[in-house]
């Protein structure tokens, strides 16, 4: 057997690159833990001081990521990739760092600093504006953020639409050209389906949820289902926060939060299942990727596909409730003893156009996202300005959902994302739904017993498939590579359209 002799320069570069990747990942893991702590555990008085400490560590990660050392190592490895080739893992790591290095390196330090200060202040402005229903309070900050984002888009570079440069930050490779037809198809069918439900749908017994559900029992039930649906409690935690989230420290330490409302049992229930979807993904990443940039999910969209898949495709299925409903009735006999599983299943799938995205159902949720996508695209493209947003927002709400917010607080001011500069983030949510439906189709083909597994509580068999096909790979593949590997084709809106059509035809007896 011929032993390949490695160029000593490349060998050394590989070693240094591994060490640098490990250091960055270690620091990022600590930042993750610290972020979780400040949201979940830290006492009030220490937070602003700690934010400075965390900022110092974040800056260190930024400096390492755009350092001369990083640049040189990437150069050496990229030129070797062309000649000798790199192993699959190194290739993926180089791809990840190169992407960030090239973008961030070209932002002048001054501009970055000014922008950081702006977003810190914009968050306060947004909070005040939202609290007082005062869009004018937010507008100057929002205008500046849009201005910066337009600048960044130019610096990052793009081929067709400036918004592409921002989309790419959240979903590598995503462009307006790819997304427009997907969303157009989904929007058209969703609006029509919504009309049909409104007109001909047999009402669900959604009033089931207009009852109090004891919080202590909700907690117990959530803790009961978490390990059954696949979340390893020895490799994670579950806590409470106002805004639920999942935070990874490492694959053996993934932390979920949820929110319990006595008057809204659905909030914690589906919130927990959703976050568990994110968490299980991270618990399943190949241990060989630990301590490297590959140790987390492929992209925002793919991540969201795993939370949506578990929350909606699994957690809002009839089979899911066939398995869990008797137990839920045991926990809440007063509230549920006279409610059939069929009625409960229909009730958790109630469609109800509303003003607030985070409270939206599976069908109307995507319409909320598309409204934001269209606004962002037009803003970055220079077709509209920030001052026009309230009017545009309300018009689109009426067009897509048939409702008009009474106030800007219920409308254009409801989301935090723009205030921290997260323009390009929203599409990930609907991408998640699109990916999830496509994955559902594949798993139904490859695991014919899929529905039975759910009905029998064999979530382990489903998770095994997800782990093998998706989770284990972490960031090894780009989102597009991954979806093609898993489903045999690129992202296609048909699957979600058909899924929604089928589901609601059944639920609403259309």
Residues annotated as part of the active site: 275
Give the residue with the Cβ less far from a copy of itself, 24 or 370. Answer: 24
Give the residue with the Cβ less far from a copy of itself, 136 or 233. Answer: 233
Determine the Cα–Cα distance for residues 425 and 168; give it in Å rounded to an integer: 10
Could you tell me which residues come within 8 angstroms of residue 347 by beta carbon, excluding any fewer than 6 positions away?
A: 204, 205, 206, 208, 209, 339
Q: Smallest gap, in angstroms, from Cβ of residue 477 to a copy of itself? A: 23
Q: Smallest gap, in angstroms, from Cβ of residue 63 to a copy of itself? A: 11
The string of DSSP codes covering 410-428 is TTTTS-SGGGGT-TT-THH
What tokens were used for 471? 């989770």
What tokens were used for 177? 């050209």
Backbone angles phi, psi at 341, to 5 degrees: -60, -35
Whether 201 and 508 have beta carbons less than 8 Å apart is answered as yes
Could you tell me which residues come within 8 angstroms of residue 59 by beta carbon, excluding any fewer than 6 positions away?
A: none
Give the residue with the Cβ less far from a copy of itself, 187 or 467. Answer: 467
Give the residue with the Cβ less far from a copy of itself, 316 or 471. Answer: 471
Backbone angles phi, psi at 347, to 5 degrees: -65, -40
DSSP state of 443: H
Question: Residue 412's closest CA among 117, 147, 167, 136?
Answer: 136
Give the residue with the Cβ less far from a copy of itself, 171 or 253. Answer: 253
Give the residue with the Cβ less far from a copy of itself, 57 or 89. Answer: 57
Whether 205 and 348 have beta carbons less than 8 Å apart is answered as no
Determine the Cα–Cα distance for residues 347 and 507; give it in Å rounded to an integer: 9
Give the residue with the Cβ less far from a copy of itself, 208 or 249. Answer: 249
Question: Residue 255's closest CA among 284, 228, 280?
Answer: 280
Binding site for a copy of itself (CB under 8 A): 22-23, 25-27, 29-30, 33-34, 37, 41-50, 52-54, 56-57, 60, 232-237, 249-254, 290-291
Determine the Cα–Cα distance for residues 122 and 116; give it in Å rounded to an integer: 10
Give the residue with the Cβ less far from a copy of itself, 57 or 510. Answer: 57
Whether 349 and 473 have beta carbons less than 8 Å apart is answered as no
Whether 134 and 411 have beta carbons less than 8 Å apart is answered as no
Determine the Cα–Cα distance for residues 334 and 353; give it in Å rounded to an integer: 29
Give the residue with the Cβ less far from a copy of itself, 168 or 253. Answer: 253
Report CA torsion sign: 278, 121, 390, 375: negative
Q: Smallest gap, in angstroms, from Cβ of residue 270 to a copy of itself? A: 23
Q: Smallest gap, in angstroms, from Cβ of residue 32 to a copy of itself? A: 10
Q: For residue 237, what are the β-bridge partners?
A: 255
Q: Smallest gap, in angstroms, from Cβ of residue 286 to a copy of itself? A: 13
Could you tell me which residues come within 8 angstroms of residue 346 by beta carbon, excluding any fewer than 6 positions away?
A: 204, 205, 507
Strands 246-250 and 236-240: what pairing?
unpaired
Could you tell me which residues come within 8 angstroms of residue 211 by beta carbon, excluding any fewer than 6 positions away?
A: 265, 335
- Which helix (H) or strand (E) segment is 254 a member of? strand 253-258
Could you tell me which residues come within 8 angstroms of residue 333 by beta carbon, excluding any fewer than 6 positions away?
A: none
Q: Smallest gap, in angstroms, from Cβ of residue 184 to a copy of itself? A: 43
């Amino acid at each position: 057997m011929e032993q390949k002799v490695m160029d000593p320069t490349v060998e050394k570069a590989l070693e240094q690159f591994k060490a640098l990747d490990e250091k960055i990942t270690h620091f990022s893991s600590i930042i993750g833990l610290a972020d979780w702590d400040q949201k979940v555990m830290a006492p009030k008085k220490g937070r602003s001081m700690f934010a400075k400490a965390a900022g110092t560590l974040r800056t260190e990660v930024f400096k390492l990521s755009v350092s001369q050392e990083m640049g040189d190592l990437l150069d050496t490895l990229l030129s070797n990739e062309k000649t000798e080739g790199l192993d699959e893992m190194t290739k993926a790591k180089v791809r990840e760092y190169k992407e960030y290095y090239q973008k961030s390196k070209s932002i002048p330090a001054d501009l970055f600093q000014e922008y950081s200060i702006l977003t810190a202040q914009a968050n306060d402005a947004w909070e005040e504006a939202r609290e007082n229903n005062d869009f004018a309070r937010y507008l100057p900050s929002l205008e500046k953020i849009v201005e910066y984002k337009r600048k960044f888009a130019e610096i990052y570079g793009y081929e067709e639409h400036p918004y592409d440069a921002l989309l790419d930050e959240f979903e590598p490779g995503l462009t307006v050209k790819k997304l427009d037809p997907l969303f157009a198809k989904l929007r058209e069918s969703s609006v029509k389906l919504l009309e049909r439900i409104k007109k001909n749908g047999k009402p669900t017994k959604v009033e089931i949820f207009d009852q109090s559900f004891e919080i202590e029992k909700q907690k117990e039930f959530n803790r009961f289902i978490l390990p059954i649906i696949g979340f390893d409690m020895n490799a994670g935690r579950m806590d409470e926060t106002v805004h639920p989230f999942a935070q990874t420290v490492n694959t053996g330490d993934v932390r979920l939060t949820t929110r319990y409302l006595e008057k809204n049992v659905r909030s914690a229930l589906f919130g927990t299942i959703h976050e568990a979807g994110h968490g299980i993904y991270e618990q399943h990443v190949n241990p060989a990727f630990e301590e490297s940039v590959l140790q987390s999910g492929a992209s925002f969209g793919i991540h969201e596909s795993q939370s949506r898949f578990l929350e909606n495709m699994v957690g809002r299925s009839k089979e899911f409730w066939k398995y869990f409903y008797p137990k839920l009735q045991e926990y809440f006999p007063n509230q549920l003893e006279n409610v059939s599983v069929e009625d409960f299943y229909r009730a958790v799938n109630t469609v109800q156009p509303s003003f607030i995205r985070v409270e939206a159902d599976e069908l109307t949720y995507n319409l909320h996202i598309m409204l934001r996508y269209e606004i962002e695209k037009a803003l970055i493209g220079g077709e509209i300005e920030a001052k026009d947003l309230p009017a545009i927002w309300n018009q689109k709400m009426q067009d897509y959902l048939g409702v008009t917010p009474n106030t800007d607080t219920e409308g254009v001011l409801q989301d935090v994302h723009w205030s921290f500069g997260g323009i390009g983030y929203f599409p990930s949510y609907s991408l998640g739904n699109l990916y999830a439906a496509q994955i559902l189709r594949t798993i139904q083909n490859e695991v014919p017993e899929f529905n039975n597994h759910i009905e029998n509580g064999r979530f382990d068999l489903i998770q095994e498939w997800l782990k093998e096909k998706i989770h284990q790979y972490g960031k090894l593949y780009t989102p597009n590579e991954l979806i093609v590997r898993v489903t045999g084709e690129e992202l296609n809106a048909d699957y979600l359209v058909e899924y929604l059509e089928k589901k609601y035809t059944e639920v609403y007896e259309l």
